Amino acid sequence: MRLLELQDESDSLAACAAAGREPADPNLRGWAALLGLDPRLLLEALRNCGLPVLRGAKAALAIGSVSQLWSAARSLAGSLESEPARAAAAELRERAAAVESPRRTWRLPRTRLPEQRTLVMGVVNVTPDSFSDGGKYLAADAAIEHGLRLAAEGADLIDVGGESTRPGSLPIPAEEERARVEPVVRALAARAGLPISVDTSKAEVARAALDAGAEIVNDVSGLQHDPELGRIVARAGAAACLLHVRGTPQDMQQRAAYRDVLGEVHDELIEAPERACEAGIDEERIALDPGLGFAKTAEHNLLLLRRLRELTQLRRPLLLGASRKSFLGKLSGKPAPERLTGSLAAATIAALNGASILRVHDVAATREALSVVDAVRSSGS
């Protein structure tokens, strides 16, 4: 089951393809619940609630606004006679409720994050080769000073990374990564007054950073790289951001092939919290990230940004990193350090489409842009 947003003809045709409907209808708009052909009782009951239900060879589409889908699913979850149909209706109700109110609380072990606004995670790359700031903060002192500056600019969290994940980059030994991040995490945890995240996929690095005061592990492999990492996070009671990727930074761009990028990212990303829960991480500690630029082309990134709201049905806070990425450079023709305007546009779109946390290099400017988004969003309420 999945909710799909139908903004234009391309979305309508993609929804028909997902359901196996021939001929495809280009004019569906609003939202669609993509439902299995069983239980049939649910499809009939949704139709009886007044929603158009279109059957295809593979699945059915129930069309409506999110609140219409929610309202029908809520009444059916309590009234249908068959248990599988009631369970499917309850699942639809939960997904629609999450899309309707996408902001979820990300529970950290020690810090209570603000709940009324979009949060900003400032990036500190202690690396020689990250695409936008590689080499600038490789010395611990420079990295710490930069982290304190981002805190003063209004960051809500600081993400410290010691290994570049740019496409084609090679992994570095855990000891080297640990030596880069540990002193920076320790100093920022003591002095920045903010929760610190460590951007790593390695259990050994995560353990050292958590011991040094980090509260979050930001794992761009989504717990697929190091089987120990989930247990380390669980044992520390830490929070985790889990990202959608295919493969590793070395081969991920060769794997950026999707028939239905939203559907496939949804289906693969949903497995990350399952892996986390198996490792013993509390669900409330998990945030999810669709991974712009990680096994995605520029076109995939744009589509994910446009239809990001769909991923709020995963019922976890969404974190997004668009800042200075190459798809923005493709649009503006500008090098990474000059992509602020494009980054602010992307952050604004992401926040409007349900992202809870933006991972950015330019904290002060992003904070200012998001203050407008948050004010507009809450106007009239």
Beta carbons of 338 and 366 less than 8 angstroms apart: no
Whole-number minimum distance, CB 142 to ligand PMM, in Å? 16
Paired tokens of 125: 């790359």
Told to check if 292 binds ligand PMM by CB under 6 A, we report yes
The interface region with ligand PMM, picked from 160-168, 249-257, 265-273, 343-351 by CB under 6 A, is: 160-168
Tell me whether residue 346 is exposed, middle or buried, using C-beta atoms within 10 angstroms of its C-beta: 0 to 12, 13 to 18, 19 or more: buried
Whole-number minimum distance, CB 268 to ligand PMM, in Å? 15
Count of beta carbons in the 10 Å neighbourhood of residue 141: 11
Judged by DSSP in three states, 214 sits in coil
Q: How many residues bind ligand PMM (CB under 6 A)?
A: 18
Whole-number minimum distance, CB 54 to ligand PMM, in Å? 36
Nearest to ligand PMM of 218, 348 (CB atom): 218
Nearest to ligand PMM of 66, 292 (CB atom): 292
Told to check if 165 binds ligand PMM by CB under 6 A, we report yes
Whole-number minimum distance, CB 234 to ligand PMM, in Å? 19
The interface region with ligand PMM, picked from 161-169, 176-184, 295-303, 370-378 by CB under 6 A, is: 161-169
Nearest to ligand PMM of 12, 343 (CB atom): 343
Beta carbons of 313 and 332 less than 8 angstroms apart: no
Told to check if 199 binds ligand PMM by CB under 6 A, we report yes
Which residues, including other chains, have CB under 8 Å from residue 249's CB and lie 6 or more apart?
A: 164, 165, 166, 167, 168, 169, 171
Tell me whether residue 254 is exposed, middle or buried, using C-beta atoms within 10 angstroms of its C-beta: 0 to 12, 13 to 18, 19 or more: exposed
56 DSSP 8-state letter? -
Binding to ligand PMM, residues 115-144 (CB under 6 A): 123, 125, 130-132
Binding mask 319-338 for ligand PMM (x = CB under 6 A): x-x-----------------
Cite the active site residues: 325, 359
Nearest to ligand PMM of 85, 123 (CB atom): 123
The interface region with ligand PMM, picked from 106-114, 144-152, 158-166, 271-279 by CB under 6 A, is: 158-166
Write down the residue that tokens 């904290």 correspond to. Answer: 363
Facing residues of 30 across strands?
A: 6
Distance, CA of 329 to CA of 92 (rounded, Å): 39
Residue nearest ligand PMM, Cβ-based: 321
Told to check if 313 binds ligand PMM by CB under 6 A, we report no
Angle of helix 298-306 relative to helix 340-352, nearest 10 degrees? 40
Binding to ligand PMM, residues 240-269 (CB under 6 A): 241, 243
Told to check if 218 binds ligand PMM by CB under 6 A, we report yes
Would strands 53-55 and 60-64 be described as parallel, antiparallel, or unpaired?
antiparallel
Q: Which of 5, 11, 215, 289 binds ligand PMM (CB under 6 A)?
A: 289
Q: Which of 178, 316, 359, 367 binds ligand PMM (CB under 6 A)?
A: 359
Beta carbons of 89 and 77 less than 8 angstroms apart: yes
Nearest to ligand PMM of 71, 169 (CB atom): 169
Whole-number minimum distance, CB 325 to ligand PMM, in Å? 7
What does 118-182 look like in DSSP terms, one character per residue? -EEEEEEE--S--TTTTTTT-SHHHHHHHHHHHHHTT-SEEEEESS--STTPPP--HHHHHHHHH
Beta carbons of 219 and 200 less than 8 angstroms apart: yes
Binding footprint of ligand PMM on the chain (CB under 6 A): 123, 125, 130-132, 161, 165-166, 199, 218, 220, 241, 243, 289, 292, 319, 321, 359
